[in-house]
Amino acid sequence: MATPFSTEQTKEPGISRNALLAAAAVVILLALVLAATTLHRAPRDAGQPDSYAANLTTGDLQLSEATNGTGGKVTYIDGTVKNGGPRKVTAATVQLAFPLNDGTTSAPFTVPLTLIRTREPYVDLEPVSAEPLVAGGSHDFRLILENVPAEWNQQPPQIRILHTTTE
């Protein structure tokens, strides 16, 4: 005679707990791999300028150097940037390559474009977003670089505007 509180357990057909854990681990692993490949994939070739970058031109370059507090060298590149396009620019990225003594160029440096706000009593810089570059407008800029190659032949670097943000 069976009692209502039997200690026997009945097994129901279905998926085992180990199989569920293994399936969950596979799903998590696939999600991590997908996230990693998506985050590391560049939306475009980082060396290719975007379509609006051609509207920005640089000129009136002046180069200078100073020693920083740790004895290293800092290179300043001052100039003027002009927006020859129809939109307002709120950010820009610049790529520079320095000519070397052996006739080649250095690996490119990529830095944000920073505008000169004031020159007195010292040079004060601001991001382009603080004072966007209007269509047809121009503004003085300064780029600050450390670790310029010792083999640099002191000629002006090649400067390209790579990426822009516009309104």
Domain positions in the chain are: 53-166
Q: What is the pLDDT of residue 37?
A: 46
CB atoms within 10 A of CB 161: 21
Percent of the chain topping pLDDT 70: 81
Q: Confidence band (pLDDT; 50, 70, 90) for 22?
A: confident
CB atoms within 10 A of CB 3: 6
User: Which tokens go with 113?
Assistant: 């474009």
Amino acid identity of residue 91, one-letter, is: A
**How many Å apart are CA 108 and CA 158, to the nearest integer?**
9
Q: Is the dihedral of CA 78, 153, 163, 60 positive or negative?
A: positive
**How many Å apart are CA 36 and CA 148, to the nearest integer?**
33
Range with the lowest mean pLDDT among 11-20, 31-40, 104-113, 137-146? 31-40
Does position 57 have pLDDT exceeding 80, yes or no?
yes
pTM over the 0.85 mark: no
**How many Å apart are CA 3 and CA 62, to the nearest integer?**
97
Q: Are 142 and 78 in contact (CB under 8 A)?
A: yes
Does position 46 have pLDDT exceeding 70, yes or no?
no
At the topology level, CATH places domain 53-166 in Immunoglobulin-like (2.60.40)
**How many Å apart are CA 138 and CA 79, to the nearest integer?**
10
In terms of average pLDDT, the best of 32-36, 44-48, 158-162 is 158-162
**How many Å apart are CA 95 and CA 45, to the nearest integer?**
13
CA dihedral 77, 80, 84, 90 (to 10 degrees): 70
Percent of the chain topping pLDDT 90: 61
Q: What is the pLDDT of residue 41?
A: 36
